[in-house]
């Protein structure tokens, strides 16, 4: 995977500082999309979804987007009808300055929940963002959408379709309030391929289910989660079906970008010091595998043990046991910490020693494997530990 971010032909990006929550860094981003592009998106399933989520869904259903407007520092969530009007007014401001329709603008916001969006500040900064529009500003955009992130998140993948080079590039933000139920936080991915909108949506769903929907930092699903996939239509041959010979190659590239971004979010989890892969194997269904995996990932006792590098394996065993899997045969279960078997036949493995377990816990990248002994289904998710800094960051978030 190319770690240097590559621009996507047809897309222009401009950033500016609207001083929404801070005055030092850019906090609004404007994407300009070519007229022939197609766009797909998935959004949070949180019942209190933010005003920009509601409006973006409505606009996407009515027309082809020409612009994406993103702000950080304010989520415009929990703001009722006034919030919807604020989001619409920002779309109208973009439309007025770019001679497009307000329905051709999709709004996205991230930041503090429950506060009115400072639309005057955004409107004042928009001319600067528009004048800055160019094809090279992906990294600037990755910085501008950050909230508690400590590093920007970006990724590019290159491939060849019909002897023509095709690129997939994406950026994302997120470090806390992470337990996606669709996509996660904010992510914007684009390719210069030409893709039918229905096919593009299928590709996005497939990629999201293997990436963003497999991560958790703290078990909280945001009100503002959104992931967008854009195909700018630079290739003459249209990928118009999931049976098209180039569909699998494109979807594989999109998935690679999404996985890299998703893992980057976990590695940058608020206060995180450990990157943890939880694999549940030999399950009877995908549902029970994920149920076990997320029960482990969301256990504060498990997460704090990893932060302390404490091989307190009983916390993992207890999480598996309370995951709610019916008729669980504990004698058939095996649990591994790295390559060290810690549980078998309903208790501690004979070959396990505290020293071997402690050695694994000292590592920064750790694998947990749970073998349920019930079938041949397997799933994996990515999570992190829970540290003092997570509490500090969220205790001080509004101060």
Number of domains in the chain: 2
CATH number for the domain that contains residue 318: 3.10.20.340
pLDDT at 184: 56
Q: Which of 354, 330, 328, 331 is nearest to 342 (CA)?
A: 354
pLDDT at 1: 47
Within the chain, which residues score under 50 in pLDDT? 1-2
Q: Which of 270, 358, 261 is nearest to 306 (CA)?
A: 358
pLDDT at 390: 84
Q: Are residues 201 and 299 in the same domain?
A: no
- Whether 53 is in a domain gets the answer yes
Q: Are residues 90 and 189 in the same domain?
A: yes
Last-in-domain residue among 208, 235, 267 = 267
- Whether 2 is in a domain gets the answer no
pLDDT at 218: 85
Q: Are residues 243 and 282 in the same domain?
A: no
- Whether 3 is in a domain gets the answer no
- Whether 38 is in a domain gets the answer yes
Q: Are residues 189 and 323 in the same domain?
A: no
Q: How far apart are CA 369 and CA 386, in angstroms?
A: 20
Read off φ and ψ for residue 113, nearest 5 degrees.
-85, 140
Tens digit of each residue's pLDDT (9 = 90 or more) over 127-184: 999 999 999 999 999 999 999 899 999 999 999 988 899 999 999 999 887 786 665 5
List the Cα angle 133/97/131 in 5-degree steps.
Answer: 25
Q: Are residues 145 and 223 in the same domain?
A: yes
Q: How far apart are CA 232 and CA 8, in angstroms?
A: 8
Q: Are residues 250 and 224 in the same domain?
A: yes
CATH number for the domain that contains residue 23: 3.60.70.12
Q: Are residues 216 and 308 in the same domain?
A: no
- Whether 4 is in a domain gets the answer no
Q: Which residues are catalytic?
A: 184
Max distance between CA atoms of the chain, in angstroms, equals 72
- Whether 88 is in a domain gets the answer yes
Q: Which of 321, 319, 341 is nearest to 329 (CA)?
A: 321
- Whether 281 is in a domain gets the answer yes
Name residues whose C-beta falls within 8 Å of residue 114's C-beta, 6 or more positions apart in sequence.
75, 77, 78, 79
Q: Are residues 103 and 235 in the same domain?
A: yes
Q: Are residues 21 and 75 in the same domain?
A: yes
Q: Are residues 239 and 295 in the same domain?
A: no
Last-in-domain residue among 245, 267, 289 = 267
Tens digit of each residue's pLDDT (9 = 90 or more) over 11-55: 999 999 999 999 999 999 999 999 999 999 999 999 999 999 999
- Whether 138 is in a domain gets the answer yes
Q: Which of 35, 33, 38, 69 is nearest to 51 (CA)?
A: 69
| Reported pTM | 0.94
Last-in-domain residue among 240, 267, 294 = 267
Q: Are residues 290 and 389 in the same domain?
A: yes
Q: Are residues 289 and 230 in the same domain?
A: no
Range of the domain at 388: 275-395
């Amino acid at each position: 995977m190319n770690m240097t971010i590559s621009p996507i032909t047809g897309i222009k990006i401009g950033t500016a500082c609207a001083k929404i929550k801070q005055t030092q860094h850019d906090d609004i981003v404007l994407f300009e999309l070519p007229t022939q592009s197609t766009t797909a998106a998935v959004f949070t399933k949180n019942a209190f979804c933010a005003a920009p989520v509601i409006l973006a869904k409505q606009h996407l259903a009515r027309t082809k987007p020409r612009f994406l407007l993103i702000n950080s520092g304010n989520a415009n969530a929990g703001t009722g009808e006034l919030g919807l009007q604020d989001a619409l007014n920002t779309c109208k401001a973009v439309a007025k300055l770019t001679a497009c329709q307000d329905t051709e603008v999709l709004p996205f916001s991230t930041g503090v929940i429950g506060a009115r969006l400072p639309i005057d500040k955004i409107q004042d900064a928009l001319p600067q963002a528009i004048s800055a529009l160019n094809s090279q500003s992906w990294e600037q955009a990755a910085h501008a959408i950050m909230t508690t992130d400590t590093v920007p998140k970006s990724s590019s993948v290159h491939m060849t379709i019909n002897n023509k080079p095709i690129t997939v590039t994406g950026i994302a933000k997120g470090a806390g309030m992470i337990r996606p139920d669709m996509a996660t936080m904010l992510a914007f991915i684009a390719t210069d391929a030409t893709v039918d909108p229905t096919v593009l949506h299928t590709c996005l769903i497939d990629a999201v289910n293997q990436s963003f929907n497999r991560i958790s930092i703290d078990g909280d699903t945001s009100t503002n989660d959104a992931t967008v996939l854009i195909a700018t239509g630079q290739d003459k041959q249209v990928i118009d079906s999931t049976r098209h010979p180039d569909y699998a190659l494109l979807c594989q590239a999109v998935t690679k970008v999404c996985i890299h971004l998703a893992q980057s979010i976990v590695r940058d989890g608020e206060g995180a010091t450990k990157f943890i892969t939880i694999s549940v194997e030999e399950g009877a269904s995908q549902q029970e595998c994920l149920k076990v995996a997320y029960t482990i990932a969301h256990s504060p006792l498990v997460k704090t043990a990893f932060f302390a590098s404490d091989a307190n394996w009983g916390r993992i065993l207890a999480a598996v046991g309370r995951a709610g899997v019916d008729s669980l045969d504990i004698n058939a279960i095996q649990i591994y910490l790295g390559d060290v078997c810690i549980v078998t036949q309903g208790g501690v493995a004979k070959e396990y020693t505290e020293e071997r377990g402690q050695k694994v816990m000292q590592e920064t990248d750790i694998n947990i494997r749970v073998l349920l002994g019930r079938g041949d289904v397997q799933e994996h998710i990515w999570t992190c530990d829970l540290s003092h800094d997570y509490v500090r960051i969220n205790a001080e978030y509004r101060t």
